[in-house]
Structure 1
């Protein structure tokens, strides 16, 4: 299943599955605003913005001049289009850049591993950004602290390039690059976590059959005896600024 088809299949429940907690959302939103130094003068492009929930909040809290949610999965983009304070565009990153739509800040939250021909993408973004314009990548280490089953952790690691690769490519394009690791811990009931796994809330889980997911849940159950699970999310924020 392709990434876009995978997210089309869970579009109606995506916001619920990715809810985590209000504190988690607030944590991520505030760091995005700070890293991108968002203000009312900015035009933000959220690449792979999904259902637009983060794009919409960023627009509201920063009073942005304009906010675009770019999402290749049509069902996800349809959900985003219901939000009246953002502009949802169904398409991929390269297709959007080809439109030459102006922007001042660009966000890639947990999607950079899905973008092909990244070096060409960086070069185009660098050309299009104004002086001191910014790009922010939010990604994860190859080895996540999520309570996944062993095969899921291995699948994630295979699909997740090392963040040092992005840093190197961005510097080669002429960006100033700063990287910060931030961690947030939250607690979910095992029932809720297992529901997320069964719905394959991350695309890396899309390769597993229903039977493999259930086997993986049994593996997790052996390691967690309480009814709740503490989940540590280690996020890498890579901020690139055009000199």
Structure 2
């Protein structure tokens, strides 16, 4: 995973700006529970877990044996370390895997595009997982439905591996694959959406300077009049299970 230095600058406000709705969080969490089949005997490795907010909630609700938040941004990891039910590890995915820390389930929530050489990574992960261990990837189609400006949509598509590529790589790594496409729609005040864009809440926005972000907001404003904006989030959930 590439070191997410951009997130060092927004770690203290990340939970506030990367916020859609309680219903949205419930939607994501419920499907993680189901797809990973989390139980009290599990050790979860949340790769790129950021400030650990999702890691902590999963640990609490599933009564996990242990929950690791693996995060390469030191500032984000410092925020996760404040959580009493999370073990924060400032590390990239490869370094964590090489440490041979045991885990039974692994989560990649919206970070899979940061993992290089995924073919070899999946082979190593397969060896590290116990029988019936699982990996869950939560990602998006290359054509994102978010109300981004056009250049941001292009940048997202350029960085995002396709569902077909991810599934093929996982199968080559030895995993049995199941996939689901799920959608959630919510409404935000446009000022809140624009705040998220200005803070570059997704790494794909990090390539744009302040002027380009403001020009992009003007572009969005022309297409979406009014005080609120409807946001459709199309998500892909890919579950990989180790079956001997």
CA shift, 1:46, in A, is: 0.2
CA shift, 1:19, in A, is: 1.2
- What are the Cα deviations for residues 111-150 of structure 1, in whole angstroms up to 9, with x where unaligned? 1100111111100110011111100000000011100000
Contact 1:3/1:203 (8 A) holds in 2: no
CA-atom RMSD in angstroms: 0.8
1:208-223 matched pairs, under 5 angstroms: 208-223=208-223
> What SS does structure 2 have at the residue aligned with 1:45?
strand
TM-score normalised per structure 1: 0.98
d(CA) in 1 for partners of 2:48, 2:5: 13
d(CA) in 1 for partners of 2:236, 2:210: 31
d(CA) in 2 for partners of 1:109, 1:10: 18
Match of 2:93 in 1: 93
Match of 2:177 in 1: 177
Contact 2:36/2:134 (8 A) holds in 1: yes
CA shift, 1:41, in A, is: 0.7
1:38-77 matched pairs, under 5 angstroms: 38-77=38-77
**Count of residue pairs brought into register by the alignment:** 242
CA shift, 1:207, in A, is: 0.5
TM-score normalised per structure 2: 0.98
CA shift, 1:3, in A, is: 5.0
Cα gap change, 1:61 to 1:71, in 2 (>3 Å)? same
CA shift, 1:174, in A, is: 1.3
Unpaired segments ≥5 residues, structure 1: none
CA shift, 1:194, in A, is: 0.4
> What SS does structure 1 have at the residue aligned with 2:184?
strand
Match of 1:153 in 2: 153
1:190-229 matched pairs, under 5 angstroms: 190-229=190-229
> What SS does structure 2 have at the residue aligned with 1:136?
strand
- Which 4+ stretches in 1 moved above 3 angstroms? none
